[in-house]
Amino acid sequence: MSRNRKVLAVAAALAGAMVLSACAGGGDAGGSSAGGTTSAPRAEPTQAPFTPPADAELPAGDGQGQCSGDPSIAYVGTIAGANAGLGIAIKQAIELAIEEHNEANAGCQVTYKEFDTAGSPQTALAPTVAAINDPSILGVVGLPFSGESEAVGPALTEAGLVGLTPSATRPDLSQKGWTHFFRGLGNDSVQGPAAAKFITETLGAQNVCVIRDDSAYGQGLATEVTKALGEGASCEEEIKTGQTEFSAAIGTIESASPDAIFFSGYYAEGAPFAQQLRDAGIEAPLVVPDGVKDPIFVQNAGEASEGVYMTCPCLPGEVFPEFLEAYKARWNVDPQTYSAEAYDATTILLRGLDQGISDRAGLLEHVRNYQGQGLTKQFAWNAQGELNETPVWSYVVKDGQIQRLSPID
């Protein structure tokens, strides 16, 4: 059975058996807020049904791929930085996709290469230049983070090396005139209003504190959320990347007595922030974005993660049964945030190589004109490298697990 046919059979069987359960927020996050005022009633959103797309393009393709030369696809992004968990979930999906492709396509063997940026704008350029200087590399999946993407964007465009980011969400990345840049998800001008809608409509919050870190990602997303909340953004506070003590921000929150709190940043700071927030007795619902949506946040925050809500322009890999099975068999762990998006991005590059594209210009043009169904969404880009279809989903931490809730319309 071909991989395309197999996934339809497995998906159809398991999608019909999907059990939908109510995922109420748990732990200490409900009840009254810091200043003694009564916070908005805790919502109990339920898990929405999801059926994997029957026509998703997969890495193996039809098995008839014919490469020209010995092409490579590279992952350029964090492997060992402060928020490396997000990058590792991406790189493992890229490797899996290439391995599955090579197993099915004897006539097109693609090499995987990786370059560790440590996830920082200050350290991203040198490994990116190393990838650029490798002539076998015709396409890149990365960079994961917005700040490092901005730092290396001019170099990638000058080299004509196409880059598909499965996770960088700052809106203005697509407005810089880069010709290499394609985003495989919705940006923060989509996620921000969706998060605000979830906070105000689903959680019923009227007064929201927005806490942002100083990263390009945290700043951009917080701006979009604050704009969407309007007068509902009752207080704001900024923290620093690498910060571990948050008494000033927590003092601001205590004074404001908000109905909900939105944290705009990454899990490295999000976990201790959540702990100290709950230790201070602040029970207002905490909502965090995709940069926090990682099992390491749950592990590091411990009991304070219970009941934390999350937004993400992503879908969890477990809703794609065959992908889940293959990923877990290869890595002994479930796929995480942006694994499925990275798998889709790699598949798109592989389709171009299967057609015999042998240079960077050709693969760049292939992506620019690509239209097709992936696991996570329909892929087709506008002239700025933004997708036409960009769903955002809500999640909650329950019983120590990140559980999918519903799309935010």
Calculate the average pLDDT of the chain. 90
CA 46 to chain centre: 22
> Mind listing the domains of the chain with CATH numbers?
3-52+188-312+392-407 (3.40.50.2300), 72-186+317-370 (3.40.50.2300)
What confidence tens digit (pLDDT) does each residue in 221-244 have? Answer: 999 999 999 999 999 999 999 999
Mean pLDDT along residues 210-216 = 96
Q: Which residues pair with 378 in a beta bridge?
A: 373
Per the model's pLDDT, the better-predicted residue between 26 and 125 turns out to be: 125
Give the whole-angstrom CA distance, residue 76 versus residue 366: 20
Per-residue pLDDT at 68: 95
Q: Give the global pTM.
A: 0.85
pLDDT at 287 over 90: yes
Mean pLDDT along residues 328-342 = 97
Per-residue pLDDT at 42: 53
Give the whole-angstrom CA distance, residue 348 versus residue 341: 11
| Closest residue by Cα to residue 105 from 55, 57, 59 | 59
Per-residue pLDDT at 4: 41
What confidence tens digit (pLDDT) does each residue in 117-174 have? Answer: 999 999 999 999 999 999 999 999 999 999 999 999 999 999 999 999 999 999 999 9
Give the DSSP per-residue string, 272-295: HHHHHHHHTT--S-EEE-TTT-SH
Taking the alpha carbons of 333, 338, 339, 340 in that order, is the dihedral positive or negative?
A: positive
| Closest residue by Cα to residue 187 from 217, 207, 147, 142 | 217
Per the model's pLDDT, the better-predicted residue between 184 and 81 turns out to be: 184
What confidence tens digit (pLDDT) does each residue in 78-102 have? Answer: 999 889 999 999 999 999 999 999 9
The Cα angle at residue 13 between residues 10 and 17, in degrees rounded to 5: 130
What confidence tens digit (pLDDT) does each residue in 31-51 have? Answer: 333 443 344 445 567 788 889
Instruction: Tokens 């509902």: give the residue.
Output: 232
Cβ within 8 Å of residue 13, ≥6 positions away: none
pLDDT at 302 over 50: yes
pLDDT at 176 over 50: yes
Per-residue pLDDT at 28: 32
pLDDT at 7 over 90: no
Helices (H), 160-294: 188-197, 216-229, 247-256, 267-279
Cβ contact 161:283 at 8 Å: no
pLDDT at 382 over 90: yes
Per-residue pLDDT at 47: 84
pLDDT at 19 over 70: no
Per the model's pLDDT, the better-predicted residue between 24 and 291 turns out to be: 291
| Closest residue by Cα to residue 98 from 62, 73, 123, 63 | 73
What confidence tens digit (pLDDT) does each residue in 262-279 have? Answer: 999 999 999 999 999 999
